Structure 1
Amino acid sequence: MKTKDTTANGRRSFLRNAGVYGLSAIAVPSFMATFLAGCKKDFLDREPLDQISDESFWKTPQQLELAVNGVYAFLKAKNTVDMENLGDNTIYPPSSDYQAISSGNYDFTRGTLNSEWVGHYNGIRRCNHFLENYEKAQGVTDVKMKQYAGEVRFMRAHMYTYLVFLFGDVPLITKTLIIGDTEIYGPRTKRTEVVDFILKELDEAATGLPTTYAAADLGRITKGAAFAWKARVALFFEKWSVAETASKAVMDLNLYQLYTAGGTATCYNDLFTYKGKVSNGTNKETILVRRYLIDVYLHNLSRECQVPDQTSRFCPTKALVDSYLCSDGLPIDKSPLYSEATYADIFKNRDPRMKQTILSPGAAWGGRDDGDANADTNANFNTPKWDADKKGCITGTGFYFTKYVEISIVGAVTKDANDIHHIRLAEVLLTYAEAKFEQGTLTQTDIDNTINKLRDRVGMKRMVIAELTAAGLDLRTEIRRERRVELAFEGQRYYDILRWKQGSLLAQDVKGMKKSLVESFNQQFVNTIPTDANGYFVVNTGRRFDVNKNYLWPVPFSQKQQNPNLGQNPNW
């Protein structure tokens, strides 16, 4: 990385202090033990990249691999799931940046806005730097060169994707900026132009990426990942034919299969536990993953879902619970199978994915004492806990997640190594179906080859267009419901709400279970929780969504201070 200050001290000072477009110090990330099966430890112990000159670094195959691996540090990790709290599927009742953004009660000074902006531009700078220098290395095959460039181009497109999803127009920077470059204080690039760049980058990346890797390189970006990410971007911006073509390209690779190990009763849930880790060999569904390794690189998701002495960080909302169909394929307001006479009844006769996503009575859990009359620690969940006695996991809505929860880890009071799944075949199938529908070309055969494969996986009644029509159900609504249910708690819901222009859903009160279903001996702990006219807990209120501003985040205050030419999004 070059600057116009040629002194070592001046150069390092600039890298430490500059904050625009990723002009900050970047050290070799320690997590890359996940990917560096072929790198030597003594090389990792040397100076970080921001203290090595370009003249001394870009020479060997090992250096080039290290540089590529460093880019993977910017692949979103558990934060992918954390951002589920931006939508209407989950809530963490205490105040947080995500809750403020979700509720529309925030301004451009929120720290999360700037951390997303700076984090992605840090990664983009790393990518630009690599692409400017990688061809200097000697002794690297042409195939490997194209692979490395493909991985880095994908990552650059990946980070620009989040920027345009959230901020709209953003500066399109494709070179390593140095002091004096006019781009540092330039205006934002139109969103449409950045999207075109992203799609082109993914096409170019795909040409050099392999379809598979050896076991030592599991988790690296593949050709299928480039196609699948392109489909996601195209779907967001209503480029239906592009989304259809890209998702079909993934399907035509014939490499990916829905995870079915363990059978219909558990396979969907197992995919998100240690059983579904890509290193196990049985998971052929996941296309892009952030791998975690036991005792090397861990997160805390399992415990945050069922934290044994506090409030769960992810509480499923009534809106999510109600979205699951009954086992006859009808919504709860139309099906004769649905009952809410007891808490346990809510889970009966429902889409099997509901119990494999949301904790149901009788299921194993790690939250210690639950809300039943027993004072001892429970291995199985019976009823939600409301007593803040620090003896068990409290819920803010009456519901808990079991998806992404490794029960043994919660009980062991330690961090876990569940893989975080960025893209899997299920999403690609849903994208293909939605893109076909929006073009008016969706057939029953298409549904059988996409949505019904997801339903068959768990033993759910198949979707039949004629039956939906007879029941007075809207096909678009049901396709969108399928996406919500299948991808719940995977960080997708907020972006779907934005692209479907359903921001009004975020303005609604967040609700939980019916108060009357709380056992009598627990009523004392819920007396102060407000309810709506029908007796459901109101967990969060005072929410708003301005259609003239809230479909985009504002340009962060600190970025505006550094570069007034960025302007601001409408009505911010």
Structure 2
Amino acid sequence: MKKYILPILTVCATLQLFSCSDDFLERTPDTQIPESQVFFNSETGLQMFSDGFYRYFSANSIKEDATSDNCEHLGSPADIRTKDYALPTALGSGGWDWTSIRNVNYFISKCKESTVESEIKNKYLGLARFFRAYLYFSKVKAFGDVPWYSNALNTNDDEELYKARDSRTLVMDSVLADLDFAIKYLPEEQYHNRISHWTALAFKSRICLYEGTWRKYHPSYNLPNAEKFIQESFNASKELVDKGPYKLYTTGNPVSDYRMLFLFTTAPAEECILSLSFPQDQTGGGAEYNYFFTDYSNGNHGATRSLIEDYFMVDGTSFNVKYSEAEQETMSFADEMKNRDPRLAASIITPGYIRYGTDGGRNYGDFMQNRTGYQICKRVGPEPYVDYRDIILMRYAEVLLNYAEAAEELGKLDKTILDKTINEIRKRAGFNIPLILENITTDNHQRALYQQIKDNDVLCEIRHERRVELAFEGLRYDDIIRWGEGHLFRETYEGIYINAGINTPVDLDSDGINDVCFVREKPENLDKNLTYIEIMGANGFSKGDNEGGRIIPYNKEYVPFEDWEYLKPIPTEELTLNKNLKQNPQWELIK
């Protein structure tokens, strides 16, 4: 069992609920829970139980961009990209599992009965209600309407166990109430791997923005109070920005600051609001992010040309304004990377790249490891597979972007908010020209991405900044869903441009010396001055193998994205067991 825990704990107890290994706590099966109220009548007992909730955060959440328009790769999970769906069948599969929520509700009931003083009790109730809100939000994102449970059910509670789904409106109002309780009673401490008042505010900023914009940009679902949730996000963001202890991490060096933010063993406390922390001496206990983006067998993930186009020029102007479509179409990889936003070189292998923690040497990207030529290097460190660096789940920059987006959605964006949010992010990135509200003009690339708001240049540019700043942090998939821009899942995503065909040496970094040769299979007699890059069989060139062109991962017929695909299906065995459950529309037609 992989042990990623948050926070790192050093207390061990010989209780059935936990086992102790190498001075770190690992949660045992959920059926082994303390029944005696005595356990919960001390702060130690409350902490011991509630620390188990932190395992509900997943290190895999930052990989969600792999199913968005930021990334192209082979194989699963590609269902949403191809509409080639398979229904989940087994009980508790596909995300329809309630064990975690039952554990939280069980704790809440025991905590309420605890004899500890009210201040301590409310602190742990606040923590539990934060996790209940967090878990329910994940359910609502997936399924829409879900059954709301505020108490831990027993096996004989048939009426509740087999009830119909409650409305999304009821559930999200309850989530909001849980978050507000957590914000009120959690301590105003600055942690980076434990839930506090500030963490709850940050997640309220995220959750309420998601829900408000979902309701606004999915009118067919006829959900009320979109503006209420956007306002709640605005309020939470504003409070954290005005009163919170956070700021953007910077040493004044934009070339390295953004890159290093994700490479420190311990995430910078000034910007990191929540991270997963790993025990440094635990064999097999770290994350596998290096492996995810650097191993041949792991899907060949590569960034898309669509994302690369979104990185600004170093002066803050749009790449798509600087260069016409025709100029971009045959632009060499080296020219494409010149004078760009430093966040690009921190996220994608560019000419001159040296992998962090290594002795150096040129690296052109490995086409066995990615399908587009734009090889992802954000967060990639020196270890071959497992590493123990903090994984940032929530950082201050996201709150700034939430604040700006909510303000514009409400018609409240002004110079003060813009300077506190987008312009602070751009300053850290090294741009000398801030955005001026009256002069913001978007480009046709943004209008094509965000079809529902294509006439709102300001909102397009806020989304533009968000995509760049948060690339490969796991939020892009949710952004596409909540904005109702599902067409982006179905685009054919291109890679880099190569001005020669297979078996022809090329000057990839434009230094006047041929350095790379693209091949289908390496020749027996290798030229020692060349790096041979094998093109996967699923890849090809837009002009054919003999002439080169843009790398095309695949060329499938475009399948329109439909409204029903924004929600996921309930497992079929759950529908058989509970006749009061109804499948989400259209999924019953999937065979």
Give TM-score, length-normalised by structure 2. 0.79
Instruction: Answer yes or no: is 1:229 the counterpart of 2:203.
Output: yes
Instruction: Answer yes or no: is 1:70 the counterpart of 2:56.
Output: no
Instruction: Answer yes or no: is 1:522 the counterpart of 2:518.
Output: yes
Distance 1:546 1:48, change over 3 A: closer
**Which range is displaced more, 445-454 or 284-293?**
284-293
Matches for 1:197-216 after TM superposition, within 5 Å: 197-212=174-189
Q: Which residue of structure 1 lines up, in the alignment, with residue 84 of structure 2?
A: 105
Name which of 87, 90, 109 aligns with 2:68: 87
- Letter of the aligned partner of 2:565 in structure 1? N
Contact kept in structure 1, 2:310 and 2:318, CA below 8 Å: yes
Q: Deviations over 1:34-93 (max 9, x none)?
A: 443344467844886633551264344332211100111112x22111222221111331
Name which of 449, 455, 468 aligns with 2:426: 455
> d(CA) in 2 for partners of 1:470 and 1:220?
39
Q: CA deviation at 1:257?
A: 0.9
Name which of 474, 481, 484 aligns with 1:501: 484
Distance 1:185 1:331, change over 3 A: same
Instruction: Answer yes or no: is 1:295 the counterpart of 2:281.
Output: yes
> d(CA) in 2 for partners of 1:493 and 1:220?
24
Name which of 295, 301, 305 aligns with 1:318: 305
Q: CA deviation at 1:381?
A: 4.2
Q: Which residue of structure 1 lines up, in the alignment, with residue 452 of structure 2?
A: none
Name which of 131, 141, 144 aligns with 2:120: 144
Secondary structure at the residue paired with 2:166? Answer: coil
Contact kept in structure 2, 1:39 and 1:66, CA below 8 Å: no
Contact kept in structure 2, 1:306 and 1:312, CA below 8 Å: no
Q: CA deviation at 1:470?
A: 9.6
**Which range is displaced more, 99-108 or 483-492?**
99-108
> d(CA) in 2 for partners of 1:475 and 1:255?
28
Q: Which residue of structure 2 lines up, in the alignment, with residue 359 of structure 1?
A: 349
Q: Which residue of structure 2 lines up, in the alignment, with residue 391 of structure 1?
A: none
Distance 1:258 1:145, change over 3 A: same
> d(CA) in 1 for partners of 2:270 and 2:361?
31
Instruction: Answer yes or no: is 1:491 the counterpart of 2:474.
Output: yes
Name which of 400, 403, 416 aligns with 2:378: 403
Q: CA deviation at 1:206?
A: 0.9
> d(CA) in 2 for partners of 1:114 and 1:243?
31
Contact kept in structure 1, 2:490 and 2:560, CA below 8 Å: yes
> d(CA) in 1 for partners of 2:580 and 2:421?
46
Q: Which residue of structure 1 lines up, in the alignment, with residue 231 of structure 2?
A: 241
Distance 1:510 1:559, change over 3 A: farther
Q: CA deviation at 1:225?
A: 1.4
Name which of 154, 160, 167 aligns with 1:178: 154
Stretches of structure 2 that go unaligned for 5 or more consecutive residues are 21-27, 213-228, 447-456, 506-516, 521-533
Q: Which residue of structure 1 lines up, in the alignment, with residue 320 of structure 2?
A: 333
Distance 1:330 1:38, change over 3 A: same
- Letter of the aligned partner of 1:71 in structure 2? F
Q: Deviations over 1:100-146 (max 9, x none)?
A: 1343221322889924332xx222111001001124445x4433322
Name which of 550, 556, 567 aligns with 2:571: 556
Contact kept in structure 2, 1:311 and 1:395, CA below 8 Å: no
Distance 1:82 1:543, change over 3 A: farther
Distance 1:170 1:33, change over 3 A: closer
> d(CA) in 1 for partners of 2:443 and 2:489?
28
Q: Which residue of structure 2 lines up, in the alignment, with residue 61 of structure 1?
A: 43
- Letter of the aligned partner of 1:549 in structure 2? W
Matches for 1:111-150 after TM superposition, within 5 Å: 114-118=93-97, 121-138=98-115, 140-150=116-126
- Letter of the aligned partner of 2:65 in structure 1? E
Name which of 334, 354, 366 aligns with 1:385: 366
Q: Which residue of structure 1 lines up, in the alignment, with residue 493 of structure 2?
A: 510
- Letter of the aligned partner of 1:334 in structure 2? V
Q: How many pairs are equivalent? A: 512
> d(CA) in 2 for partners of 1:284 and 1:552?
36
Give TM-score, length-normalised by structure 1. 0.82
> d(CA) in 1 for partners of 2:32 and 2:261?
41
Distance 1:495 1:431, change over 3 A: same
Q: CA deviation at 1:167?
A: 1.2
Instruction: Answer yes or no: is 1:305 the counterpart of 2:301.
Output: no
Q: Deviations over 1:362-381 (max 9, x none)?
A: 1112799xxxxxxxxx9444
Instruction: Answer yes or no: is 1:347 the counterpart of 2:337.
Output: yes
Secondary structure at the residue paired with 2:394? Answer: strand
Contact kept in structure 1, 2:179 and 2:200, CA below 8 Å: yes
Secondary structure at the residue paired with 2:96? Answer: helix
Q: Which residue of structure 1 lines up, in the alignment, with residue 249 of structure 2?
A: 259
Distance 1:134 1:32, change over 3 A: farther
Distance 1:441 1:562, change over 3 A: same
> d(CA) in 2 for partners of 1:54 and 1:228?
34
Secondary structure at the residue paired with 1:288? Answer: strand
Matches for 1:32-51 after TM superposition, within 5 Å: 32=5, 34-40=7-13, 44-45=18-19, 50-51=31-32
Q: Which residue of structure 1 lines up, in the alignment, with residue 508 of structure 2?
A: none
Q: CA deviation at 1:527?
A: 8.4
- Letter of the aligned partner of 2:73 in structure 1? Y
Q: Which residue of structure 2 lines up, in the alignment, with residue 464 of structure 1?
A: 436
- Letter of the aligned partner of 2:10 in structure 1? A
Stretches of structure 1 that go unaligned for 5 or more consecutive residues are 1-26, 369-377, 389-393
Contact kept in structure 2, 1:89 and 1:320, CA below 8 Å: yes
Report the identity percentage.
Answer: 30
Matches for 1:16-27 after TM superposition, within 5 Å: none
> d(CA) in 2 for partners of 1:517 and 1:418?
40
Q: Which residue of structure 2 lines up, in the alignment, with residue 16 of structure 1?
A: none
Q: CA deviation at 1:400?
A: 1.5
> d(CA) in 2 for partners of 1:111 and 1:403?
36
Contact kept in structure 1, 2:66 and 2:72, CA below 8 Å: yes
- Letter of the aligned partner of 2:417 in structure 1? D
Distance 1:285 1:180, change over 3 A: same
Q: Deviations over 1:463-489 (max 9, x none)?
A: 223443498982221111111111111
Q: Which residue of structure 2 lines up, in the alignment, with residue 429 of structure 1?
A: 400
> d(CA) in 2 for partners of 1:471 and 1:137?
59
> d(CA) in 1 for partners of 2:91 and 2:238?
35
Name which of 533, 542, 552 aligns with 1:538: 552
Distance 1:52 1:172, change over 3 A: closer
> d(CA) in 1 for partners of 2:119 and 2:408?
39
Q: Deviations over 1:490-514 (max 9, x none)?
A: 1110111111111111111132222
Distance 1:49 1:523, change over 3 A: closer
Distance 1:110 1:509, change over 3 A: farther
Distance 1:114 1:514, change over 3 A: farther
